[in-house]
Homo-oligomer: A and B are copies of this chain.
Amino acid sequence: MAGAGQPTIDEVARLAGVSRGTASRVINGGAHVSPAAHEKVLKAIEELQYVPSRAARSLVTQRNDAVALAISDANPRLFTEHPFFSEVIVGIDTVLAESDLELMLVLGASVRERNRLRRQLSSRRVDGIMLLSLHGEDPLYELAEQADVPVVYGGKPLGVEPPHYVDADNRGGARQAVEHLVTTGRQRIATVTGPMDMDVGVARYHGFRDALGSAGLPAHRVANADFTAASAVRAMADLLDRFPDLDAVFVAADSMAAAALGVLHERGRRIPQDVAVVGFDDRATALTTHPPLTTVHQPVQALGAEMAKMLLSLMAGRPAGHADPAHAAGHPAIDVAQFTVTENECVARPVPPFQSSKPASTSISHHEFWR
């Protein structure tokens, strides 16, 4: 009868010689419990190896102590190719680890998975949702809106302004990257863009235009890609076909830049003598290419961490309604990632802390491209 499956709180209480209520109190922080009882319960828990049933607890508290990360991208290849997602996950996990929340991962590639996602998000199994990589007309956006738990977006969805999201200043970063090309004397600057149905793709493209516009240079050398290596190869080849005289390329992601580099090599372009290349995203990838890629660094882990923090504060604010002095004017709807300034070899340089609501200071990692 006892010891059948997992021990229950009643068994703990019995062993400790106290009531179920007292045992529960000890488990949940131990307020209003005499030291003697506290001690006894603790010992019983230890002896029985008791771990509370989350299901039973959730049923009564109506909380789940779990959050979901939904990655809604039609292209599973992107998830594996692009370190972005892993970085975000690590950032999120770092924050979650401190709060004992579980992380549910939902990939939403296929229609089938999309339905599953729908079910999972609405089965009251999680207390908050983080949404990543939303394309333009992503049906998930709608779904998330009608969820009755807080939702935080990673990357602003295209065309809408959701109440809570975290994003980097993609436009400013791209602008700086391209300005750097201009500064070093490049004249015929091209770009391989990200997907134009995502804000990140559009914003970086706008940054490209901004920089060239200010410099009085033409901005018509454009080829679209979708962040995958294969698409970048096509786009780079396309650019070279259409504009054989281009002397610089701004590629909207490092993983794509690495692929573009291969095409340039193949076509006999010397880098950086013939064509300069600037990427965007992370330093790690940039260093494995040859030559090491010049890149604008985006603190993706910090972005993930910020998403998690924002979600946490949303979740806390909901039931308690307490006003956090730091956020007196309401929750910050937008956080702007700072780009890292790195002027030298940067393998071991620590990532500067992510900061909220400050003007984005962007920067560029110099490598031998510019020597």
Q: Residues of A with Cβ closer than 8 Å to B?
A: 5-6, 49, 51-56, 58-59, 62, 64, 66, 69, 76-77, 79-81, 83, 85-87, 89-90, 93-94, 97-98, 100, 102-107, 109-110, 112-113, 116, 119-120, 122-125, 148, 229-230, 233, 255, 258-259, 261-262, 265, 284, 287-292, 301, 347-348
A264 to chain B, nearest CB (A): 9
Inter-chain CA distance A288–B119, complex, in Å, is 38
CA distance A64 to B64 in the complex (A): 13
B287 and A290 contacting across the interface, CB-CB below 8 Å: no
Contact partner of A105 (CB less than 8 A), chosen from B79, B89, B289, is B89
What number of copies of this chain does the assembly contain?
2
- A interface majority secondary structure: helix
Q: In the complex the two chains form, what is the Cα distance from A76 to B89 in whole Å? A: 10
Instruction: Determine which of B97, B102, B229, B265 lies in contact with A104 in the assembled complex, contact meaning CB atoms within 8 Å.
Output: B102
Which of B6, B87, B123 touches A51 (beta carbons < 8 Å)? B123
What are 29 A-B residue pairs whose CB atoms fall within 8 Å in the complex?
A5-B148, A52-B123, A53-B124, A54-B123, A55-B55, A55-B58, A55-B125, A56-B59, A69-B105, A76-B90, A80-B86, A80-B87, A93-B107, A93-B109, A98-B112, A100-B116, A100-B119, A102-B120, A104-B104, A104-B105, A105-B105, A229-B288, A230-B348, A233-B347, A255-B288, A261-B290, A262-B292, A265-B291, A289-B290
Partner pick for A97 among B53, B69, B110, CB 8 A cutoff:
B110
Taking the closest CB of chain B, its distance from the CB of A57, in whole angstroms, is 8
Residues on B with beta carbons closer than 8 Å to the beta carbon of A348: 230
Q: Across the two chains, which residue of chain B brings its CB closest to A228?
A: B284
A125-B54 in contact (CB<8A) = yes
**Which residues of the partner chain B approach A85 to less than 8 Å between Cβ atoms?**
86
| Inter-subunit contact A97/B112 (CB<8 Å) | yes
Q: Are A51 and B119 in contact (CB under 8 A)?
A: yes
B-side contacts of A66, CB under 8 Å: 104
A208 to chain B, nearest CB (A): 22
Once the chains are docked, how many angstroms separate the CA of A64 from the CA of B81? 32
5 tightest CB-CB pairs across the interface, nearest first? A55-B58, A258-B288, A80-B86, A55-B59, A105-B105
Interfacial chain B residues near A53, Cβ < 8 Å: 59, 123-124
Which of B97, B100, B229 is in CB contact (< 8 Å) with A284?
Answer: B229
Contact A284 B56 (CB under 8 A): no
In this complex, the member of A107, A109, A119 whose beta carbon has the largest number of chain B beta carbons within 10 angstroms is A107
If A55-B125, A230-B347 are given as contacts, then 18 extra A-B residue pairs at C-beta distance below 8 Å, sorted by A number, are A5-B62, A51-B119, A54-B123, A55-B56, A56-B59, A79-B89, A80-B90, A89-B107, A97-B112, A102-B125, A103-B104, A229-B288, A230-B348, A233-B347, A258-B289, A262-B292, A265-B291, A289-B289
